[in-house]
């Protein structure tokens, strides 16, 4: 989390929105073998109190997560910011980025809860891709589906802390922020440029 309070989202629901939109996280935890990280699709509960995910049973983190404190990080768009884009020569290069950290205690899910998680994931993302008809597990041989789910383990992390960073040049003037957005867009990072313009406008009008 960046220490500058200017990079904390002003909108209460922005961190939640980004987690739902991106839907993929790095899960960190300490283990007897040292720190480990896994990467997984995630499901945020409606009340934003819990985050569900699943890992391969053979993942180095899986056997240590039940009851452990974990950190989930959802990464948004990011890009290099050239100091040459500022009007003031006394500037240095930096990096704009979006990152949402969530901390909490993880618990292992039973088989029924794991299947429910998989159903939620597929329904959400099938709707996004516009599949018609959408894929569901009803299309699979039940025995094969059961065998495949036996190779993964579901978890739910009860979130005790949210630490979002949305670093989009909010500490710069509107003119400088637009120059940076133009530069970022020209380097192929259009999504980040659009976020800068949207959030920057909200901040200036606040």
- pTM equals 0.91
Q: What is the pLDDT along the chain (206 residues), one digit of tens a residue?
A: 788 898 998 777 889 999 999 999 999 999 999 999 999 999 999 999 999 999 999 999 999 999 999 999 999 999 999 999 999 889 999 999 999 999 999 999 999 999 999 999 999 999 999 989 999 999 999 999 999 999 999 999 999 999 999 999 999 999 999 999 999 999 999 999 999 998 765 444 43
CB atoms within 10 A of CB 65: 24
CA dist 49 to 99, 112, 187, Å? Answer: 18, 20, 37
Domains annotated on the chain, with CATH: 5-78+96-169 (2.30.110.10)
Helix ranges (H only) for 23-110 are 62-65
Chain-centroid distance of CA 186 in Å reads 25
Chain-centroid distance of CA 130 in Å reads 22
Helix ranges (H only) for 41-173 are 62-65, 111-129, 142-149
């Amino acid at each position: 989390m960046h220490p500058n309070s200017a990079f904390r989202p002003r909108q209460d629901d922005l961190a939640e929105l980004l987690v739902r939109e991106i839907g993929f996280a790095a899960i960190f935890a300490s283990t007897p073998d040292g720190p480990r990280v896994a990467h997984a699709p995630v499901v945020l509960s409606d009340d934003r109190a819990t985050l569900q995910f699943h890992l391969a049973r053979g993942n180095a983190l899986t056997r240590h997560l039940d009851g452990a404190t974990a950190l989930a990080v959802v990464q948004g768009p990011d890009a290099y910011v050239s100091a040459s884009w500022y009007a003031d020569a006394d500037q240095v290069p930096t990096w704009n980025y979006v990152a949402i950290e969530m901390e909490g205690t993880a618990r292992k899910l039973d088989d029924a809860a794991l299947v429910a998680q998989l159903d939620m994931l597929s329904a959400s993302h099938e709707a996004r891709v516009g599949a018609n008809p959408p894929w569901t597990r009803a299309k699979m041989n039940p025995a094969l589906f059961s065998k495949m789910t036996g190779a993964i383990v579901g978890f739910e992390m009860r979130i005790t802390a949210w630490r979002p960073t949305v670093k989009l040049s909010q500490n710069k003037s509107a003119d400088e922020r637009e120059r940076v957005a133009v530069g970022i867009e020209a380097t192929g990072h259009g999504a980040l440029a659009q976020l800068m313009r949207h959030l920057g406008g909200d901040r200036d009008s606040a």
